[in-house]
Structure 1
Amino acid sequence: MSEKLNIETPHERRPFKAHGHMDVVTLGDFTLGRGVFEPGWRWSNDVKPIAGTDSCQTHHTGICTSGQMTIAFEDGNEITVGPGDVVDLEPGHDAWTVGDEPCVILDTGIKAYAKPA
Structure 2
Amino acid sequence: MTGIATRNMEAPHETRQFHGHGHLDVVTLGDFTLGRAVFEPGWRWSNDVKPLAGTDSCQTAHSGICLSGHMTVRMDDGSEAQMGPGDVVTIAPGHDAWVDGDEECVFLDTGIAAYAMPA
TM-score exceeds 0.5 = yes
Matched ranges for 1:8-87 at <5 A: 8-87=10-89
- SS of alignment partner, residue 41 of structure 1: coil
Q: Distance in 2 between matches of 1:18 and 1:4?
A: 30
Q: Distance in 2 between matches of 1:41 and 1:76?
A: 19
Q: Distance in 2 between matches of 1:17 and 1:75?
A: 25
Q: Distance in 2 between matches of 1:25 and 1:63?
A: 16
Q: Tell me the equivalent position of 2:95.
A: 93
Identity of counterpart residues, as a percentage?
A: 70
1:2 deviation in Å?
1.2
Letter in 2 for 1:90: A
- SS of alignment partner, residue 49 of structure 1: helix
Q: Distance in 2 between matches of 1:27 and 1:69?
A: 28
Structure 2: gaps of 5 or more residues: none
- SS of alignment partner, residue 97 of structure 2: strand
Q: Distance in 2 between matches of 1:62 and 1:106?
A: 5
Normalised to the residue count of structure 1, the TM-score between the two structures is 0.99
Q: Distance in 1 between matches of 2:69 and 2:91?
A: 18
Q: Tell me how large the CA RMSD over aligned residues is.
A: 0.4
Q: Distance in 2 between matches of 1:66 and 1:58?
A: 21
Structure 1's consecutive aligned runs of 4 or more residues displaced over 2 angstroms after TM superposition are none
Q: Distance in 2 between matches of 1:23 and 1:5?
A: 12
